[in-house]
Amino acid sequence: MTTLTRRPFNDPHRQGWFVYFGDICVGHIGRRAGVPINSHQWVWSCGFHPGCDPGEQTHGTAKSCEEACDDFENAWKRLAQNKTEWHFELWRRSRDFHAWKRTMWDQDIEMPTQRTDGRSRCFCGAEVTTESVARHIQESHRGIGDPKSRP
């Protein structure tokens, strides 16, 4: 089974990590901001969307980083036992679609849904239609949203 890994927030003002199961971001653990000193200083959240129903996602606070990590791991063990590869695939497809869409917007290319004929050209040059976009992304741009695949 794939182990959980942590990647630090890319924000100098926040202390914490995104938690990954392989290439799937399944939650975060971090220091809370703006809470009284006598409150729990750490927060965690476990779940991913799409792939989890809203009621399946859990979160909590903890006194220490170690406690937050332990609480997260326990929540993950409960959540993971009900997940199949299809749940993770839903998340990957959403991640890749949104990264593809942002790339199209960054390059000022209209989406097929923005055109009356339902056709456009992808930034890679391929013609795409409203019906073919999902297949095109999976066949030609799989992993475009994975931060580890970017230069």
For residue 28, pLDDT over 90 is answered with: yes
Question: What is the distance between the alpha carbons of residues 28 and 93, in angstroms, rounded to a whole number?
Answer: 21
Per-residue pLDDT tens over the stretch 71-117: 999 999 999 999 999 999 999 999 999 999 999 999 999 999 999 99
Indicate the SS3 state at residue 14.
coil
Q: How confident is the model at residue 149 (pLDDT cuts 50, 70, 90)?
A: low
Q: How confident is the model at residue 140 (pLDDT cuts 50, 70, 90)?
A: very high
For residue 1, pLDDT over 60 is answered with: no
Domain boundaries defined on the chain: 4-80, 85-149
- Mean pLDDT, the chain, integer: 93
Residue 79 CA neighbour count, 13 Å, CB half: 25
Residues 6+ apart with CB under 8 A from 71: 44, 60, 62
Q: Listing from the earlier edge strand, what are the strands of the sheet with 42-46?
A: 4-8, 16-21, 24-31, 42-46, 58-62
Residue 10 — very low, low, confident or very high, per pLDDT cuts 50/70/90?
Answer: confident
Predicted TM-score (pTM) of the model is: 0.84
> Is 13's pLDDT higher than 90?
no
